[in-house]
Chains A and B, each alone.
Chain A
Amino acid sequence: MAGEVVLLNFWPSLFGLRVRIALAEKGIKYESKEEDLSNKSPLLLEMNPIIKQIPVLIHNGKPVCESLIIVQYIDEVWNDKSPLLPSDPYQRAQARFWADFVDKKVYVASRKVWRPKREEQEEGKKEFLETLKTMEGELGDKPYFGGETFGYVDISLIPFYSWFHAYKVLDNINMEAECPKIIAWAKRCMQKEAVAKTFPDPKKVYEFVAQTRKKYVSA
């Protein structure tokens, strides 16, 4: 179960952050290797030749790719503590459904906020907020998406919180006003050590996002 664990990552990546939170929840020691995505390392290209993206978890020399697949792998291998997915098959299917929704809808919409044209940005914002409101509906009155405890769906979504400051400053999205339940839930997650110690500094994220945006958006 122990063995050598290496994570190929890129610090602002939402997907990489999911894996880092899962590793922290399980108390797994690992070596983190930062990738320069404009100059991918031979190791990354060898370990993920198909998609050539981070994150990649390398466990005893063998790669696991795609963040949600990695998180499930971590949960199944280190299954002696802090379960991330429910044990009941129906609950597990629901958890997978919502994490998949985050990938297919929330993430895709979040990218549209930075489309080149103004009207497209407004449309993107609207869509992004709608997906987060849908997540609020799913959260309901529960403290976490996982119910009483932090779990798979929480892990899939919480990394977006690291980008909210950037969205506020650059795109004028007031999340507190638009999605108060999401903000309350995110702050609750941030009280967890595994989340707090892995989360990047929102100011650093903002600087990174501001720089990257210049490439895509006509001020």
Chain B
Amino acid sequence: MSITQNLTTSISSTSSAFLASPTFTPRYSCFTSFLIGIKIASFFCLLIKILIFFSGYCRSQVSLPVKSVSICKCVATPQEAETAYKTKVSRNANMGKLQAGYLFPEVARRRNGHLLTYPDAKIISLGIGDTTEPIPEVITSAMAKRSQALSTIEGYSGYGAEQGEKPLRSAIASTFYGDLGIEEDDIFVSDGAKCDISRLQIVFGSNVKMAVQDPSYPAYVDSSVIMGQTGPFQKPVQKFANIEYMRCNPENGFFPDLSSISRPDIIFFCSPNNPTGAAATREQLTHLVQYAKDNGSIIVYDSAYAMYISGDNPHSIFEIPGAKEVAIETSSFSKYAGFTGVRLGWTVVPKQLLFSDGFPVAKDFNRIVCTCFNGASNISQAGGLAFLSPEGLKAMRDVIGFYKENTSIIVDTFDSLGFKVYGGKSAPYVWVHFPGRNSWDVFSEILEKTHVVTTPGSGFGPGGEGFIRVSAFGHRENVLEACRRFKQLYK
């Protein structure tokens, strides 16, 4: 049987692929450490082989009650590595800039390691932001109907429009951007915001500079590195050269001081924010749009959590006058409809958004969508359309309400323990401050002592140090149990 392998230096998941709640069917996940230098690798190979031999440790694709665990295998024995054929194709230097110990696989690796140490532990995952509640039937019955129809002559459809099916584009425009002047043909349906982020980077190319909030969702920085927009990683500051990191912390109300950065071409801005949970105010977004206008920058606004907003914070950047000339908005059905596995999202590129030579950004984005993509799955799109029906939207509000209740429970728990807690009002994430502490240490402590997986703040950027992100996706009983355990630990 093959033994799977993976590298923490270069392989990573920015998603929940490797983390799952205990009720999920076993998932495939595998890691291995790829150490620098064949000699070091061969030493560990030998060590691992010995462990494998004596402990019967190594099995591939084992199904455990909670998760499948795959064990590492070295790439090659020393002799094989030295004589193994190599092509003459140079490795992409941009890939080489990506750092070891990337966030989510590292979290998953530690989780899996923990499970090996405590095989009977009931691990609760409040790490990855993966939805857990079943999809409302109004949506799944529409997808079932579409699937069924594909077996009929009248109902079969092949290639769809790469930009998405017209009724869905129209429904997205009217539901989310009703009075905001965003039209159906400004909407591009996709297989998710993460994929769109990379497609946007391909549109922009390597000769632009971006700014990100710090902390922020890792895909913005990583896709920028892969595209070749950044310089090398600077270990002392834990930042990539040529990215503007805009610190967002309690002191500045989680909104960056834009006067302190040098002009970027592209500004990634996520609100409500992952990981801090902060939702920007109308004033703040007006300031952001004005900054972009004054500096000729383009905002890529990630509104994937907008439906979690409590209060009157803007749901869309296009609520701000002038935004159509400076912003793109990307969003997703993942956290609204539980479509994390079904895969559906969208990006809005207004016609008014122009490059410096006057060329419409939407035309280039359309070209990328037609050339580098081939449309979201038609079944997923049928589900999206059903989601946007009155019945679907009501069902969504119920599910989001459920996750928001989870969030309140977690916020109350940490509040009651005397922690400074942020977020949790307009996003399914709670951002807990552990002043003066290393976030990986806190992560480990929580995991070790409560068997609860969280996410260390520094994984989202240096601005996340001293914080832990607790996600509120989970079955109620797991969230309650996790909170009981937190109270036990920190009482």
Partners in one complex: no
Give the B-binding residues of A (Cβ under 8 A): none
Give the A-binding residues of B (Cβ under 8 A): none
